[in-house]
């Protein structure tokens, strides 16, 4: 007999990648069983079988392939396993086998995919029911504003940003790179000290024209290459060619930040607060130090996780007049990365979602949401967008919230999505739409967009452990 691991509640939670699994506790054998548990084990252990074995039999019985790549099914011991099989129904069999272990299943083409419960991913139906319930809470602007204030306040409370703001360096060290000239715009790298010895790095894309310009802040998403990838360079440089000062920034422990902290810091509990702190401090710093900005025309945009951080920036800084979150912020998906949903703000005010939070932060200001048919935003035209339009209609500004949907596209901030955002920002910020020409943009290697290629300055944090000692003092 294989030496099956004795499963405890928390141990299985780790094996399965998180989430409490109350249901399995009653089926488990603990390392120090009580007398009652020992009696149960003696009398019923023969009926317990490893899940992997039972799933293999189910796959053969029903002629399907069952994929459990996200966990090790043979580490799960399931009592009364055979009693749960329904020979006439694959669906019922899988439900009976998997639900007690907090596992879920779905059909993916010809195979069955089994996964641990994911707190951040719900079904489209869940999203529809949630939006319907939320919409029933308010029928006019008065009721909506009462709810919106509650959602904003609770989301800020859940985020717990204050200790991080208190710990921010009052007189930060700033490293500014040389101003590089390109076709119709300039670039300048920056590194801004945030907490003591901790830098956020990014690039400022600026127009060559004089006068006061709109500001566009763009937190990066989780895509490989971070803010160095070509689609972000096209976008930021084109914003500048159109007449805006556009500034981007690394996400925590990504890009140059990864060199300072190591990638593990991106998955730490503090990643979300740190990311919001960075977006806020970069915004404050650039407004404080440049005299060519118009604070009445501030916008933010980002794709995927960058959309979450666009929303979070607007949540903590009410000066943003225009927002363009791209391929994210739906009613049934919260991101799942600690930097996006480690603090569960989407559950604010007794039950919410990022769609409602977007409305609470922005209605009735201009917002463009961009979605596609190839990711979780495929529901946008039928679910989230009508919900948002109804809230904007309370103010007689239904047309101020827009949706550009690309049914045949996948999860990216690609050329068609960028074109939609160029048009929207041109209209809302008074930018020059005729200047949109991505062929004029110089795509530069990652090193050319970094600040510390020659090494880190004295006093710079060089590990997540160093950062965590600073954070411990802030709490
Ligand atoms: Zn993340």
Task: Provide the Cα torsion 231, 359, 349, 142; round to 10°.
Answer: 170
Spacing, Cα 220 to ligand 1 middle (Å): 10
Structure tokens at 411: 């999860």
One domain, residues 342 and 240: yes
Question: Structural domain of residue 100, as residue ranges?
Answer: 9-116
Choose one of 65, 83, 116: the last residue of a domain: 116
Choose one of 81, 116, 151: the last residue of a domain: 116
Q: Is residue 125 part of a domain?
A: no
Q: Is residue 3 part of a domain?
A: no
Spacing, Cα 95 to ligand 1 middle (Å): 31
Spacing, Cα 19 to ligand 1 middle (Å): 18
Under DSSP, the state recorded for 173 is -
Spacing, Cα 205 to ligand 1 middle (Å): 24
Q: Is residue 172 part of a domain?
A: yes
**What's the number of domains the chain is made of?**
2
Spacing, Cα 450 to ligand 1 middle (Å): 20
Other beta carbons less than 10 A from residue 269's beta carbon = 11
Spacing, Cα 267 to ligand 1 middle (Å): 7
One domain, residues 95 and 241: no
Q: Is residue 1 part of a domain?
A: no
Structure tokens at 34: 């009580």
Spacing, Cα 275 to ligand 1 middle (Å): 9
User: Which residues are 49's β-sheet partners?
Assistant: 78
One domain, residues 359 and 275: yes
Contact (Cβ atoms closer than 8 angstroms) between residue 248 and residue 234:
no
Q: Is residue 2 part of a domain?
A: no
| Domain CATH number, residue 280 | 3.40.50.1820
Spacing, Cα 446 to ligand 1 middle (Å): 20
Which residues have CB less than 5 Å away from ligand 1 (the ion)? Answer: 337, 339
| Domain CATH number, residue 54 | 3.55.50
Structure tokens at 35: 């007398």
Spacing, Cα 189 to ligand 1 middle (Å): 23
One domain, residues 322 and 440: yes
Give the span between the Cα atoms of 375 and 373, in whole angstroms.
Answer: 6
Choose one of 68, 88, 116: the last residue of a domain: 116
Q: Is residue 361 part of a domain?
A: yes
One domain, residues 18 and 143: no
Spacing, Cα 319 to ligand 1 middle (Å): 25
One domain, residues 392 and 431: yes
One domain, residues 105 and 221: no
**Would you call the peptide bond into 150 cis, given omega within 30 degrees of 0 as the criterion?**
no
One domain, residues 192 and 98: no
Spacing, Cα 336 to ligand 1 middle (Å): 8
One domain, residues 25 and 81: yes
* Predicted structure pTM score: 0.86
Under DSSP, the state recorded for 121 is B
Spacing, Cα 272 to ligand 1 middle (Å): 8
Spacing, Cα 227 to ligand 1 middle (Å): 14
Spacing, Cα 305 to ligand 1 middle (Å): 7
One domain, residues 147 and 51: no
Calculate helix-pair angle for 415-429, 230-242, nearest 10 degrees: 20
One domain, residues 108 and 241: no
pLDDT number for residue 120? 87
One domain, residues 86 and 172: no
Q: Is residue 124 part of a domain?
A: no
253: alpha, beta or left, given left = phi > 0 and alpha = psi -120 to 50?
Answer: left
Spans of the chain, pLDDT less than 70 = 1-46
Q: Is residue 310 part of a domain?
A: yes
């Amino acid at each position: 007999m294989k030496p099956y691991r004795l499963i405890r509640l928390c141990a299985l939670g780790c094996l399965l990648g998180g989430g409490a699994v109350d249901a399995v506790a009653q089926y488990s054998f603990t390392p120090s069983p009580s007398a009652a548990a020992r009696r149960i084990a003696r009398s019923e252990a023969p009926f317990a079988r490893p899940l992997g074995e039972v799933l293999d039999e189910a796959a053969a019985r029903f002629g399907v392939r069952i994929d459990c790549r996200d966990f090790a099914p043979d580490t799960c011991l399931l009592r009364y396993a055979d009693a749960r099989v329904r020979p006439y129904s694959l669906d019922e069999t899988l439900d009976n086998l998997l639900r007690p272990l907090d596992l879920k299943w779905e059909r993916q083409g010809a195979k069955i995919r089994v996964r641990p419960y994911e707190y951040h991913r719900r079904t489209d139906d869940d999203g529809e029911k949630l939006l319907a319930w939320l919409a029933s809470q308010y029928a006019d602007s008065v009721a909506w504003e009462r709810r919106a204030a509650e959602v904003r306040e609770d989301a800020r409370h859940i985020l717990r940003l204050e200790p991080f703001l208190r710990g921010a360096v009052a007189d930060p060290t700033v490293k500014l790179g040389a101003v590089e000239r390109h076709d119709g715009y300039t670039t300048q790298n920056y590194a801004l000290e945030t907490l003591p010895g901790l830098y956020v790095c990014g690039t400022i894309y600026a127009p060559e024209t004089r006068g006061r310009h709109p500001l566009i802040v763009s937190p990066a998403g989780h895509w490989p290459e971070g803010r160095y990838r070509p689609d972000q360079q096209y976008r930021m440089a084109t914003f500048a060619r159109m007449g805006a000062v556009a500034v981007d920034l690394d996400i925590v422990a990504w890009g140059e930040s990864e060199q300072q902290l190591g990638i593990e810091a991106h998955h730490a509990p503090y990643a979300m607060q740190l990311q919001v702190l960075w977006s806020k401090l970069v915004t404050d710093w650039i407004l404080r130090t440049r005299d060519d900005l118009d604070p009445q025309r501030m916008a933010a945009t980002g794709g995927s996780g960058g959309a979450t951080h666009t929303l979070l920036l607007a949540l903590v800084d009410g000066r943003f007049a225009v927002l363009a979150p791209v391929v994210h912020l739906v009613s049934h998906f919260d991101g799942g990365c600690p930097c996006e949903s480690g603090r569960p703000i989407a559950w604010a005010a007794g039950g919410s979602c990022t769609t409602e939070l977007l409305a609470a932060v922005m209605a009735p200001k201009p917002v463009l949401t961009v979605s596609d048919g190839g990711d979780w935003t495929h529901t946008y035209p039928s679910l989230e967008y009508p919900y948002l339009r109804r809230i904007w209609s309370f103010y007689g500004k239904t047309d101020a919230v827009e949706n550009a949907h690309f049914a045949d596209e996948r999860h990216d901030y690609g050329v068609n999505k960028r074109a939609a955002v160029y048009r929207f920002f041109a209209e809302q910020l008074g930018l020059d739409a005729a200047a949109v020409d991505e062929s004029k943009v110089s795509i530069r290697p990652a090193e050319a967009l970094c600040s510390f290629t020659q090494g880190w300055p004295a006093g710079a944090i060089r590990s997540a452990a160093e950062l965590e000692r600073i954070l411990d003092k802030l709490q």
